[in-house]
Structure 1
Amino acid sequence: MKATAATIAAVQRPDGGIPWQANGHLDPWNHIEAAMGLDVAGMHAEAEAAYDWLARNQRPDGSWAAEYRDGEATLSTMDTNFTAYVAVGVRHHFLANGDHSFVERLWPTVDRALDAIVRRQQPSGAIAWRTDPGVRLVAGCSSIHHALTQAIGLASLVGQARPRWAASAKRLRTALVEQPHLFTAKPHAMDWYYPVLGSVLTGSSATERIDTGWDRFVEPGLGVRCVDHEPWVTGGETAELALTLAVRGDRTRAAALLECIARLRHEDGSYWTGYQFADKEFWPDERTTWTAGAVLLATAALNGDPATCKVFGEQTS
């Protein structure tokens, strides 16, 4: 874990930002996933610097741009699940090191971000991805649901009540479960497992969801296909499914998935984004910090790390 976390830290900019790779772009969601990977490896100062970057770069409306490069926004559009995810990272960091002063300091950032999300919730309960109100994503909204549950936990820590967040989470979950026609159909694995990872589905419903889609997305011995019809397995999706399984007690399948990821590991501890198994080559030619972060989180969950298991375990809304 230390070697892999070190490859994330090596890419981290002096201002705390964590781009996808050296000299690459940064997006807030993957920046946070990489920061959580740093935390599970004990690199708390580096992780905290990543959250401080978010606090400094938050826009007046509570959001972040969808993309940054060299410290400047290069795609100003707000991506709703990118903005919401700060709550997941901040709570994970607190649980990893127990620093109440950190939560107090980052609370205004979380508060503004989640309020920005709730303001964009539609009458149906769904939340649009970006500016087009008709584009609502299963994975994105499931991630927002997860973020809302974590934000509620943070509110309790600082002695604040945010009943509108709890109401928003319930409405969003109802929309995802009862009105699937509202959401854009996609052939991506994330749409399959994210309702479980985000606690939209729990218990037997979650188990049924995973089992029903298993043969569609899991390539035996290789990992999880990013898209169901492409011969391409990816480290991020494979690790996130392993994380989903590990925190819910399915340790055997989680461990098997992590074994698949071993083929993506570079000698320096970083991870290739994916493997194109028809051509038998790593593709694309990149080793991303968020892939490393996802692997670290899945490994931590399999090892019973309390912070990771609590944040990614089943939540109620």
Structure 2
Amino acid sequence: MTTAPAVAGVLTAQQVVATGSAIVGMQEESGALPWFPGGKTDPWDHVESAMALSVTGFVAEAEAAYDWSRRHQRSDGSWPITIVQGEITDPGIDSNFCAYIAVGVWHHYLITGDTAFLERMWPVVWSAIDLVCRFQRPDGAFRWGGDHRTHAMFDEALITGNASIYQSLDCAIRIAAEMRQPDDDWVRALDALDDAFTTRPEVFEKPSEHSMDWYYPVLGGAIRGRAGQELIARRWDEFVVPGLGIRCVDHRPWVTGAETSELALALDALGDTADAIDLISSIQHLRDPDGSYWTGLVFDDGKRWPVEKSCWTSGAVVLAADAVSRTTAGNGIFRDAGRRLAPRV
């Protein structure tokens, strides 16, 4: 069994395993990992939650989640944006949602070394990334989504989605190399996206009031080093609430566990691990006795909102704990994003 992460003075290994167990408790019989019991399942948060199961040793449950992804992938390589208890409620395509399967599959393989799993999921990854690459614009940025019925694409290129696609392409390239089926088109797509982030940031929609648009270029691996540190410093005071976490939206008194954990992952990727640990510590007020985490807190009135313990919030906390503790073989999935790109062609 995988050794569970522990963060000294913040979380014990037993507590992290309890969080994994809480995620298992939300898993549907189909393998789906919804936002919360009875809630919606989207293909991105589903994968993030599955990654936390891999970290905490619930390998069979994680593989059940990936099998759900395999079974629900449509013939064009996509997944519906939203499924509620087996019923499609939003059939649209989100390019970032579809790409993220590559991150989850590579992460699970790093932890388990299970080549049979990788071989089983390879056609799923190939089909998804092949679809996603069709959403790339001539300027290197990816359109955010499209209509599944008409195949029309929506032209806007969102910063958060593109930064996540950056990591997904990186992981897909690594999977392809492991399968001895390298794909030069994927390399060219990542090179073009890299060029857009580093030389033409104006091709993306302007950063919104949401914190994700702030830190995701670092989290996904598109911006690192000094440029990444400067990017994080620029809006630190707008989002970080000392001792409580980070705001989801810059002007609202609302801190959220998932965004705080993701910022911790971004800081760790920049080498600022001590600050990352401080952030993880700051959101333990969201922890429930059963090991799960409430989504957020409205700190001016002390109320949890929304009133839900979300699967993906728990997942993000587990992934952050693994990263800063360097525990599992997948602990560097965010830190290493973009580090071993294939040569430019």
Aligned counterparts of 1:280 and 1:68: Cα–Cα separation in 2: 32
Residue 77 of structure 1 pairs with residue 92 of structure 2: yes
Question: Which whole-Å CA distance do the structure 2 matches of 1:310 and 1:155 have between them?
Answer: 19
Residue 151 in structure 1 maps to residue 172 in structure 2: yes
Please show how residues 151-190 of structure 1 align to structure 2 within 5 Å.
151-185=172-206, 186-190=208-212
Counterpart mapping for 1:83-94 below 5 A: 83-94=98-109
| Residue type of the alignment partner of 1:49 | A
SS at match of 2:306: coil
Q: Is 1:289 aligned with 2:289?
A: no
User: Is the Cα contact below 8 Å between 1:297 and 1:308 reproduced in 2?
Assistant: no
Unaligned regions of 5+ residues in structure 2, if any? Answer: 1-15, 147-152
Asked if the contact 1:126/1:141 (under 8 Å) is kept, the reply is: yes
Matched residues in 2 for 1:159 and 1:134: separation? 34
Within 1, Cα distance between the matches of 2:201 and 2:178? 34
TM-score using structure 2 length: 0.89
Show the counterpart of 1:98: 113
Task: Kindly provide the amino acid, as one letter, of the partner of residue 197 in structure 2.
Answer: L
Tell me the distance in 2 between the aligned counterparts of 1:248 and 1:228. Answer: 22
The residue number in structure 2 matching 1:265 is: 287
Bigger drift between 300-309 and 37-46 goes to: 300-309
Q: In the alignment, residue 103 of structure 2 is paired with which amino acid?
A: V
1:306 Cα offset (Å): 4.4
Root-mean-square deviation (Å): 1.2
Amino acid corresponding to residue 151 of structure 1 in structure 2: A
Paired residues of 2:276 and 2:324 also in contact (CA < 8 A): yes
Counterpart for residue 244 of structure 2: 222
Match of 1:233 among 255, 278, 295: 255
The answer as to whether partners of 1:247 and 1:302 remain within 8 angstroms in 2 is no
Residues of 2 paired with 1:188 and 1:47: CA distance? 30
Distance in 2 separating the partners of 1:308 and 1:215: 31
Q: Deviations over 1:161-203 (max 9, x none)?
A: 1111111011112223322232222111111111001111121
The answer to whether residue 61 in structure 2 is matched with residue 61 in structure 1 is: no
Contact 2:224 2:270 in 1 (8 A): no
Q: Distance in 2 between matches of 1:300 and 1:313?
A: 11
Residue 36 of structure 1: aligned partner: 51
Q: CA deviation at 1:72?
A: 2.2
Q: Which runs of 4+ in 1 moved over 6 A?
A: none
CA contact (8 A) 1:7 1:268 kept: yes
Partner of 2:67: 52
| Counterpart residue number, 2:320 | 298
After superposition, give the CA deviation of every residue in 1:105-153 in whole Å (9 maximum; x if it has no partner). 1000000000001111111111111135332110000000100000000
Offset at residue 2 of structure 1 (A)? 1.1
Q: 1:81 to 1:307 in 2, by over 3 A?
A: farther
Contact preservation (8 Å) 2:225, 2:270 = no
Q: Deviations over 1:9-55 (max 9, x none)?
A: 01101111100000111001000110011111111110011001000
Please give the secondary structure, in 2, of the residue aligned with 1:29. Answer: helix
Q: Which has the higher helix share?
A: 1
Please give the alpha-carbon distance, in whole angstroms, between the structure 2 residues aligned to 1:173 and 1:83.
19
Cα distance in 2 between the residues matched to 1:312 and 1:142: 12
Structure 1: runs of 5 or more not aligned: none
Residue 158 of structure 2 is aligned to residue 137 of structure 1: yes
Report if the CA contact (8 A) 1:138-1:176 is conserved: no
Select the residue among 130, 138, 145 that pairs with 1:123. Answer: 138
Q: TM-score, normalized by length of structure 1? A: 0.97
- Aligned residues with identical type, % of pairs: 46
**Deviation (angstroms), 1:280:** 1.3
CA distance in 2, matches of 1:41, 1:115: 31
